[in-house]
């Protein structure tokens, strides 16, 4: 096992602006003086699985011990949430404007005001936001939560949709100028969401004036080398990993299809126009299974699913997300990588679904934090509620920067200087003093073999 001696950094939760320092140099590693200087973290692989568009309450409303609810505020009324199927036909609004409606100045009662896209959604589709998924249909997620860690206070970096959420999961924020006055929000005007977009495509941005926010307004072309006054500022975790020669891969559907929306690195010009586009960006995502079997798993992996395996609403008949996640967890758990791996499963945004927890406000000028999303942490060192009793619910306030901070600290990468500087690391969901537990397979309706032989759906299911 590769045991890395690193600083155990969780850091104080500092309320700072979203974004980091100017300049293109890689930040130096700065240990937190308030914490032990050294320790042993037996983690040499982190696999970050990114699912789609679900609030915490939509999946875990009734999970024992979790901070869920079966009732919600609909304007001045309190309503009982409806139990529904996982496969759901409506893609509710989840843009910045939707966030502000749902949030309603902190009252958390405006979810019913949202539209739901095209048929077969009902005319007042926002009322369907008041729901929770039948636990039997997401049994693999509940099984993972019962054995490992369920984080019930994980918040999006900002109140916006999938485009910015996927950026936040590779860099912790979307400010793109050195003065930190401009930040991306919502989504570009055309697909793909990145450097491959057609001429004339623009992003949406917010501008901080010093006294308030202007926007959303027209932003730059969605490719980092087109960002005004950014210099080398728009760095991602890739920059820190490359600087320390830590291997990474980004598994995603083909750019023509789901990858047109969910390939965050298509916006990162040094990746898109460099050799890593063919060596580190891997399609289809099922290639991950081969890399596990062949012993070629990178140190850090992002895993973006096919549309029908993503949990994204709008699939009326099919959602194989729980089995997809279980198949990856099982593949790692039954491999040589189990004792050295942390698997983090997170959903990128709330998808318009009701959640009761008011996001801590204000943190920054860019709509952060956003609503709660589910997060599961799987590891042989996952913290236990009591010794030798599997399952732990973390009530720690996490955000996407918490995941990045953990990765930075495992490999002593330094800081990007975005939300990773303020976020509480997920390290407190681990107990590295315990003996690594023996892996127990996660039961699911579909197996790894099913996904390895499943043709890509080629569905770009998202719109925001």
Tell me the two tokens of residue 145: 């939560």
pTM reported for the whole predicted model = 0.91
Residue 26 counted as domain residue: no
Residue 35 counted as domain residue: no
pLDDT band of residue 14 (cuts 50, 70, 90) is: very low
Tell me the two tokens of residue 118: 């095209």
Tell me the two tokens of residue 183: 């930040």
Lowest mean pLDDT across 44-58, 73-87, 120-134: 120-134
| Distance from C-alpha of 49 to C-alpha of 325, rounded to nearest angstrom | 8
Q: Give residue-wise pLDDT tens across range 203-245.
A: 999 999 888 888 899 999 999 999 877 666 799 999 999 999 9
Residue 30 counted as domain residue: no
Residue 121 counted as domain residue: yes
Tell me the two tokens of residue 333: 């758990």
pLDDT band of residue 21 (cuts 50, 70, 90) is: very low
Report the candidate in 302, 177, 188, 185 with the shortest Cα–Cα distance to residue 234: 177
- Across residues 49-78, what is the average pLDDT? 97
| Distance from C-alpha of 258 to C-alpha of 125, rounded to nearest angstrom | 25
* Cβ–Cβ < 8 Å for 55, 350: yes
Domain hosting residue 325, numbered range = 44-453
Domains: count for the chain: 1
Residue 278 counted as domain residue: yes
Calculate the average pLDDT of the chain. 88
Report the candidate in 233, 159, 234 with the shortest Cα–Cα distance to residue 194: 234
- Burial (Cβ within 10 Å: 0-12, 13-18, ≥19) of residue 296: exposed
Cβ density class 61-85: b for 16+ within 10 Å, e for less: bbbeebbbbeebbbeeeeeebeebe
Instruction: Give the number of other CB atoms < 10 A from CB of residue 291.
Output: 17
Residue 24 counted as domain residue: no
For residues 119 and 175, the model is more confident at: 175
Question: How far lies 308's CA from each of 5, 175, 212, 261, 315, in Å?
Answer: 40, 31, 40, 14, 7
Q: Give residue-wise pLDDT tens across range 268-320.
A: 999 999 999 999 999 999 999 999 999 999 999 999 999 999 999 876 678 99
Q: Say whether pLDDT at 402 is over 60.
A: yes
Residue 14 counted as domain residue: no
| Distance from C-alpha of 148 to C-alpha of 239, rounded to nearest angstrom | 31
Listed in order, strand segments (DSSP E) in 291-438 are 300-303, 341-347, 372-378, 392-394, 398-399
* Cβ–Cβ < 8 Å for 423, 326: no
Give the percent of the chain with pLDDT over 90.
Answer: 72
* Cβ–Cβ < 8 Å for 238, 271: yes
Q: What residues have CB less than 8 Å from 394, skipping those under 6 apart?
A: 149, 150, 151, 152, 153, 377, 383, 426, 428, 429
- Tokens 């926002």 -> residue: 126
Q: Say whether pLDDT at 17 is over 60.
A: no
| Distance from C-alpha of 309 to C-alpha of 29, rounded to nearest angstrom | 37
CA angle 145, 451, 94 (to 5 degrees): 60
CATH number at residue 202: 3.40.720.10
Q: What is the pLDDT of residue 318?
A: 83
Residue 36 counted as domain residue: no
Q: What is the pLDDT of residue 361?
A: 77
């Amino acid at each position: 096992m590769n045991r890395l001696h690193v600083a155990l950094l969780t850091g104080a939760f500092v309320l700072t602006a979203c974004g980091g320092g100017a300049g293109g140099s890689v930040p130096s590693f700065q240990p937190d003086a308030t914490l032990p200087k050294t320790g042993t973290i037996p983690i040499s692989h982190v696999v970050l699985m990114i699912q789609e568009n679900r609030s915490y309450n939509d999946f875990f409303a009734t999970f024992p011990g979790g901070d869920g609810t079966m009732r919600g505020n609909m304007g001045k009324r309190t309503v009982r949430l409806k139990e529904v199927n996982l496969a759901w036909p409506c893609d509710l609004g989840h843009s910045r404007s939707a966030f502000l409606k749902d949030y309603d100045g902190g009252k958390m009662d405006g979810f019913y005001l949202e539209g739901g896209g095209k048929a077969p959604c009902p005319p007042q589709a926002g009322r369907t936001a008041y729901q929770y998924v039948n636990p039997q249909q997401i049994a693999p997620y509940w099984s993972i939560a019962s054995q490992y860690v369920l984080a019930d206070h994980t918040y999006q970096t900002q109140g916006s949709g999938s485009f910015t959420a996927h950026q936040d999961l590779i860099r912790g924020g979307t400010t793109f100028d050195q003065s930190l006055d401009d930040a991306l929000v919502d989504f570009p005007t055309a697909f793909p969401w990145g450097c491959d977009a057609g001429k004339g495509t623009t992003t949406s941005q917010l501008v901080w004036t010093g006294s308030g926010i202007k926007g959303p307004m027209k932003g730059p072309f969605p490719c980092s080398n087109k960002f005004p006054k950014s210099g080398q500022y728009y760095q991602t975790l890739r920059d820190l990993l490359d600087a320390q020669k830590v291997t990474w891969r980004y598994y995603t559907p083909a750019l023509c299809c789901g990858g047109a929306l969910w390939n965050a690195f298509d916006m990162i010009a040094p990746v898109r126009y460099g050799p890593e586009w063919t060596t580190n960006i891997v399609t289809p995502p099922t290639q991950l299974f081969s890399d596990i079997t062949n012993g070629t798993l990178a140190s850090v992996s992002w895993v973006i699913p096919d549309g029908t395996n993503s949990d994204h609403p709008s699939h009326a008949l099919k959602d194989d997300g729980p089995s997809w996640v279980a198949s990856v967890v099982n593949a790692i758990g039954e491999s040589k990588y189990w004792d050295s791996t942390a698997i983090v499963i997170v959903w990128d945004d709330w998808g318009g679904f009701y959640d009761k927890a008011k996001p801590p406000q204000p943190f920054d000028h860019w709509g952060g934090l956003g609503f709660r999303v589910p997060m599961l942490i799987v590891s042989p060192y996952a913290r236990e509620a009591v010794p030798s009793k599997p399952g732990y619910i973390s009530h720690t306030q996490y955000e996407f920067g918490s995941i990045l901070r953990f990765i930075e600290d495992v490999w002593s990468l330094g800081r990007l200087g975005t939300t990773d500087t303020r976020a509480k690391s997920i390290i407190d969901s681990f107990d590295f003093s315990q003996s690594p537990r023996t892996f127990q397979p996660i039961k699911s309706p579909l197996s790894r073999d099913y996904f390895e032989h499943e043709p890509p759906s080629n569905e770009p299911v998202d719109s925001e």
